[in-house]
């Protein structure tokens, strides 16, 4: 593997790379940079967003253009304003030591005359969305007749969005002898035909296989009755207290509705779709980036170009119509070397789509059960315990300690801990105890067909922060316990702990092994979990519908008071970002990601 220096980049770029903290070139950079630096040739690169492709074309372009000239030499077309701005910002950072460099972004929804002025000052590189670019060409506000490099970024997305004509028109104003570099996550027929039409003998590089999903993302599906879809979504969120996710819906209406319902239910959520004004979309994206929003509910079109690196989960609330779109959705997580999970909530009638997606992404889905109430309660409790354990003590508390100590004078440490955790535990426990399981039986599925009474579910105090994902933990357990391929199942990895199942007969062996076992210097603790771990897609149906309280049952008064909070704000301007604001919460808590303590869901007032 080469270093950035060995790829042939100049001093100005290497200094910027050092400033940005990039250590090694990514796969697409390894492949593309030397080719583009050394030859004037076209390029077709199959690479997903998050692979470092902006730098793969950005570095060579910056090195090759003449910054002393004011002529526009590079044109980058991208599908959305978001992406356009993201590329522009990245290029400005990469080129921060290239004296005289001017990169200008051109996109709809902002003043065209201002953009024209910026171009006129001399922009060596223009980054544009096709619609606005075409407009500016026809008004002679930009001259691309002398460009030497054109980039079609996320070409499949641009074509999906109906930009074929615009792209054709724009390219007809560029010189024939320029080089064209096309980047696309997938290679549908339309992209291949663009490549054929506008490019000559291109280099072809592929990062992973065509349409293939990155290795950093694991894929899971949850089979539910269509009517339980929303409840399933809430449980997935509750079972992942640190979730930071994009939830994909098929239509703008569903997107708005799901986001509103989540907000009503007390989650920090926001909607992102095309019926929102640019201003509203910017506000939502800002809140999402700041992590004030944990669940961004979005349409496929609106989510294009989301450039947030640490998204933990992508949730497919509904599957996309075009199966290939799944690759784009799941590519929003597992970026910049991190791992991520792509979850699909699926009804029986859509199950066949899972198989088609598996063929396209060349990855297997893991079938999982919607977490039971018990499991969620445990997860939330342990998450809170970990959070408290890791909290640094602030000395502002000191002045209250005398009164607190007095109050608890007669309470033992043990009782104090029990009382403290009961406050939160009872809330989730009471909320979920009567709720039914949400899975449905998949008659075709035999792999998970274990009878739950024969299983033991365990809690283990290692998780993602110890470098495990479900595959690694499964391998680890199999190896340590010397078990066979299918002996460890239903492995669920959370941030600092996990769950797994074995057959009951192995319980003794498992517990015995972990009585005195250290991993990387730390004792590994394994306990039998209260939650038995449902099997076979929800064969158990405890509780049923009888006496079940609807999740959305909320005391009227509380609803009203929330509305009036929202009412203080300009509703129109914040329609996409109507996350809950409880102004009586301390600042730090607002952005805190704990579902247990940072939000009031399940609501205290439900506890009657």
Contacts with ligand AMP, residue ranges (CB under 6 A): 22, 25-26, 29, 49-55, 309, 335-336
In the block, which residue shows the tokens 């909530």? Answer: 345
Omega before 602 cis (within 30°)?
yes
Evaluate whether 564 touches 477 at the Cβ level (below 8 Å). no
Q: Give the nearer residue to ligand AMP in terms of CB position, either 312 or 318.
A: 312
**Least distance CB 17 / ligand AMP (angstroms):** 8
Q: Give the nearer residue to ligand AMP in terms of CB position, either 29 or 294.
A: 29
DSSP 575: T
Q: Which two tokens stand for residue 448?
A: 């998970």
Evaluate whether 323 touches 198 at the Cβ level (below 8 Å). no
Evaluate whether 29 touches 20 at the Cβ level (below 8 Å). no
Measured CA to CA, the distance from residue 270 to residue 126 in angstroms comes to 32
Q: Give the nearer residue to ligand AMP in terms of CB position, either 25 or 439.
A: 25
- Where do the DSSP E strands lie in 244-364? 245-248, 269-272, 295-298, 313-316, 340-346
**Least distance CB 167 / ligand AMP (angstroms):** 20
In angstroms, how far is the first alpha carbon of the chain from the final one?
62
How are beta strands 269-272 and 455-460 bridged, if at all?
Answer: unpaired
Length of the chain counted residue by residue: 608
List the one residue out of 85, 96, 84, 36 whose CA is nearest residue 61.
36
**Least distance CB 577 / ligand AMP (angstroms):** 23
Residue 355, phi then psi, degrees to nearest 5: -60, -45
**Least distance CB 126 / ligand AMP (angstroms):** 18
Angle between helices 164-171 and 189-198 (to 10 degrees): 10
CA atoms within 13 A on the CB side of 468: 25
Q: Give the nearer residue to ligand AMP in terms of CB position, either 336 or 404.
A: 336
**Least distance CB 105 / ligand AMP (angstroms):** 15
**Least distance CB 182 / ligand AMP (angstroms):** 15
DSSP state string for 47-116: --TTSSHHHHHHHHHHHHS-TT--S--EEEE-SSHHHHHHHHHHHHHHTTTSTT--EEEE-TTS-HHHHH
In the block, which residue shows the tokens 């356009």? Answer: 84
Evaluate whether 367 touches 355 at the Cβ level (below 8 Å). no
Q: How is the beta sheet containing 365-368 ordered, strand by strand?
A: 269-272, 295-298, 245-248, 313-316, 340-346, 217-223, 365-368
**Least distance CB 127 / ligand AMP (angstroms):** 13
Q: Give the nearer residue to ligand AMP in terms of CB position, either 47 or 346.
A: 47
Measured CA to CA, the distance from residue 63 to residue 8 in angstroms comes to 10
**Least distance CB 488 / ligand AMP (angstroms):** 34
**Least distance CB 94 / ligand AMP (angstroms):** 9
Q: Which two tokens stand for residue 525?
A: 């603790």
Residue 260 burial (10 A CB sphere; 0-12, 13-18, 19+): middle
DSSP H or E segment with residue 183: strand 179-184
Q: Give the nearer residue to ligand AMP in terms of CB position, either 52 or 463.
A: 52
**Least distance CB 243 / ligand AMP (angstroms):** 21
Measured CA to CA, the distance from residue 277 to residue 281 in angstroms comes to 6
Q: Give the nearer residue to ligand AMP in terms of CB position, either 49 or 386.
A: 49
Q: What share of the chain is helix, strand, coil (3-state, %, to 5)?
A: 40, 15, 45
Q: Give the nearer residue to ligand AMP in terms of CB position, either 52 or 130.
A: 52
How are beta strands 455-460 and 526-528 bridged, if at all?
Answer: antiparallel
Q: Give the nearer residue to ligand AMP in terms of CB position, either 54 or 535.
A: 54
Q: Give the nearer residue to ligand AMP in terms of CB position, either 153 or 437.
A: 153
**Least distance CB 21 / ligand AMP (angstroms):** 7
DSSP 146: T
Residue 183, phi then psi, degrees to nearest 5: -120, 130
Q: Give the nearer residue to ligand AMP in terms of CB position, either 29 or 535.
A: 29
Q: Give the nearer residue to ligand AMP in terms of CB position, either 328 or 427.
A: 328
**Least distance CB 285 / ligand AMP (angstroms):** 15
**Least distance CB 354 / ligand AMP (angstroms):** 27
Q: Which two tokens stand for residue 264?
A: 């009503």
Q: Give the nearer residue to ligand AMP in terms of CB position, either 183 or 221.
A: 183
Q: Give the nearer residue to ligand AMP in terms of CB position, either 178 or 335.
A: 335
In the block, which residue shows the tokens 């509103």? Answer: 260
Evaluate whether 32 touches 57 at the Cβ level (below 8 Å). yes
**Least distance CB 344 / ligand AMP (angstroms):** 24
**Least distance CB 276 / ligand AMP (angstroms):** 23
Q: Give the nearer residue to ligand AMP in terms of CB position, either 85 or 491.
A: 85
């Amino acid at each position: 593997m080469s270093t950035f220096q060995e790829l042939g980049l100049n001093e100005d770029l290497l200094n910027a790379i050092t400033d940005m903290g990039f250590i090694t070139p990514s796969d697409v950079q390894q492949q593309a940079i030397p080719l583009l630096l050394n030859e004037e040739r076209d390029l077709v690169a199959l690479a997903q967003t998050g692979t470092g492709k902006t730098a793969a074309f950005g570095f060579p372009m910056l090195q090759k253009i003449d910054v002393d000239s004011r002529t526009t030499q590079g044109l980058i077309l991208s599908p959305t304003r978001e992406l356009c701005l993201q590329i522009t910002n990245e290029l400005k950072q990469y080129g921060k030591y290239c004296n005289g460099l001017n990169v200008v972004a051109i996109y709809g929804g902002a003043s065209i005359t201002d953009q024209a002025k910026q171009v006129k000052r001399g922009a060596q590189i223009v980054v544009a969305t096709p619609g606005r670019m075409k407009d500016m060409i026809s008004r002679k506000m930009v001259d691309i007749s002398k460009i030497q490099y054109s980039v079609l970024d996320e070409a499949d997305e641009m074509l999906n969005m109906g930009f074929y004509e615009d792209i054709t028109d724009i390219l007809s104003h560029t010189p024939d002898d320029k080089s064209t570099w096309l980047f696309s996550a997938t290679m549908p027929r339309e992209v291949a035909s663009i490549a054929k039409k506008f490019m000559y003998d291109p280099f072809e590089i592929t990062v992973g296989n065509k349409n293939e999903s990155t290795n950093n993302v694991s894929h899971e599906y949850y089979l539910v009755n269509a009517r339980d879809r929303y409840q399933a979504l809430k449980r997935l969120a509750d079972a992942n207290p640190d979730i930071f996710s994009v939830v994909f819906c098929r239509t703008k209406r569903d997107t708005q509705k799901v986001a509103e319902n989540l907000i009503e239910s007390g989650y920090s959520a926001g909607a992102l779709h095309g019926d929102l004004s640019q201003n509203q979309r910017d506000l939502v994206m800002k809140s999402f980036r700041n992590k004030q929003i944990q669940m961004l509910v979005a349409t496929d079109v609106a989510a294009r170009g989301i450039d947030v690196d640490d998204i933990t989960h992508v949730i497919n609330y509904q599957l996309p119509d075009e199966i290939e779109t799944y690759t784009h959705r799941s590519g929003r997580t597992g970026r910049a070397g991190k791992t991520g999970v792509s979850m699909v909530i699926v009804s029986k009638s859509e199950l066949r789509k899972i198989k088609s997606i598996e063929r396209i992404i060349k990855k297997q889905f893991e079938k999982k059960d919607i977490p039971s109430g018990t499991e969620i309660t445990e997860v939330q409790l342990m998450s809170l315990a970990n959070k408290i354990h890791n909290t640094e003590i602030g000395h502002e508390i000191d002045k209250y300690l005398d009164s607190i100590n007095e109050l608890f004078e007669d309470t033992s440490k043990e009782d104090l801990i029990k009382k403290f955790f009961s406050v939160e535990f009872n809330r989730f426990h009471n909320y979920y105890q009567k709720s039914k399981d949400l899975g449905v039986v998949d008659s075709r599925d035999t792999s998970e067909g274990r009878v739950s009474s024969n299983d033991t579910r365990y809690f283990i105090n290692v998780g993602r922060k110890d470098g495990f994902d479900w595959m690694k933990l499964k391998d680890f357990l199999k190896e340590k316990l010397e078990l066979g391929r299918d002996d460890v199942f239903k492995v669920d990895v959370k941030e600092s702990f996990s769950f797994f199942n074995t057959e009951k007969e192995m319980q003794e062996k498992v517990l015995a092994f972990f009585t005195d076992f250290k991993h990387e210097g730390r004792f590994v603790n394994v306990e039998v979990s209260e939650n038995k771990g449902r099997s076979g897609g929800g064969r158990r149906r405890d509780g049923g519908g009888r006496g079940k309280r609807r999740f959305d049952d909320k005391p009227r008064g509380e609803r009203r008071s929330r509305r009036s909070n929202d009412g203080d704000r300009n509703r129109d301007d914040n329609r996409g970002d109507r996350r809950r604001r409880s102004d009586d919460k301390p600042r730090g808590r607002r952005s805190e990601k704990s579902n247990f303590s940072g939000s009031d869901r399940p609501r205290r007032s439900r506890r009657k």
